[in-house]
Amino acid sequence: MKKIIIPTDFSENAQNALNFALELYKNQTCTFFLLHTYTPVIYSYDYQMNVSGYFGELTDTLKENSIQQLERTKRKVKEKFNNPKHNFKVIAAFNLLVDKIKELIEKESIDLVVMGTKGATGAKEILFGSNTIHVIQKIKCPVLAIPDGYFFEEPKNILFPTDYKINYSDKHLETIHNIATLYSSKIHVFHVSNSMPLTVQESTNKSTLHSLLKSKDYTFETTNNQSVDTAIHNYKKETSIQLLMMINNKHSFFENLFFKPIIHKIGFHLDVPFLVIPS
């Protein structure tokens, strides 16, 4: 059984991510952990000492409201999807989101985190909201980020950009193998070349990736003389891609692409679901 965390702030964006996950895994037995974390706006030691009674009442109220909204969300999706393969657990936690997700991953052996991506500004050139960035950076579990307003479409084509600097393993490809099996997806392995030949290690890694994908429909493609963000954007436009996947390898182009000023470039923003695999 697959175990999936769905963080929610009860927004339309969060509900959209939940709906997507339920559609994506409609034919698979799953337990979904509907998670809401909360902290009071005022939270300091001095404040607790001075008004500890009020503070306790405030946290109790926040917890009660959180549980009520989680239960309401659970009722709505159970009525809408009515899928006997899906079970739901609601978790209201006085905690930071990343810390609680880490705790659940360890305690429950979580397979995947699915969350929405709308940033505070809502501007198209902003790739992620801060919560999504923190989760991707800090947890060791695959994260599937769903763009604001994106409705489910079967992932028949999966784009997998890579620089071949990763010593690939079955663990890296477990989630994508699962999705590709469910939807008979084609995996497009995409390399943006700097016109230099692959190193011995990169060639070895590429051969390993060939072996790991041999049971799937896949293709290897290379482009030259383009920036990574432009090459990915152009490939997505030219090919009907429904899912983008990357491995978050330290010191690879992933960090340069998503966690530096390039994310502000108009023309490369998240417009399809994005699966991030920890290295």
Q: Does pLDDT of 121 surpass 50? A: no
φ/ψ of 81, rounded to 5, equals -100, -30
Contact predicate 212/135, CB 8 Å: no
Supply the pTM of this predicted model: 0.87
Query: Which is higher by pLDDT, 190 or 231?
Result: 190
φ/ψ of 199, rounded to 5, equals -70, 170
Q: What is the spatial distance between Cα 154 and Cα 148, in angstroms, rounded to a whole number?
A: 17
Virtual CA dihedral for 99, 104, 110, 115, nearest 10 degrees?
Answer: -50
**Kind plus residue range of the DSSP H or E element containing 256:** helix 253-258
> Which residue's structure tokens are 């999504």?
132
Given pLDDT bands bounded at 50, 70 and 90, which one contains residue 4?
very high
Identify which of 76, 95, 78 has the alpha carbon closest to the alpha carbon of residue 86.
Answer: 78
Bridge partners (DSSP) listed for residue 4: 32, 112
Query: What spatial distance separates the first Cα and last Cα of the chain, rounded to whole Å?
Result: 23
Condensed to tens digits (0 to 9), the pLDDT of residues 240-257 reads 999 999 888 765 555 555
Mean pLDDT rounded to a whole number for the chain: 85
* 3 state SS of 190: strand
What domains can you pick out in the chain, each with its CATH number? 2-146 (3.40.50.620), 157-278 (3.40.50.620)
| Residue type at position 116 | G
Query: Taking residues 74-98, what's their average pLDDT?
Result: 96
Condensed to tens digits (0 to 9), the pLDDT of residues 126-145 reads 445 567 877 888 899 999 99
Query: Taking residues 99-119, what's their average pLDDT?
Result: 92
Condensed to tens digits (0 to 9), the pLDDT of residues 55-72 reads 556 677 888 999 999 999
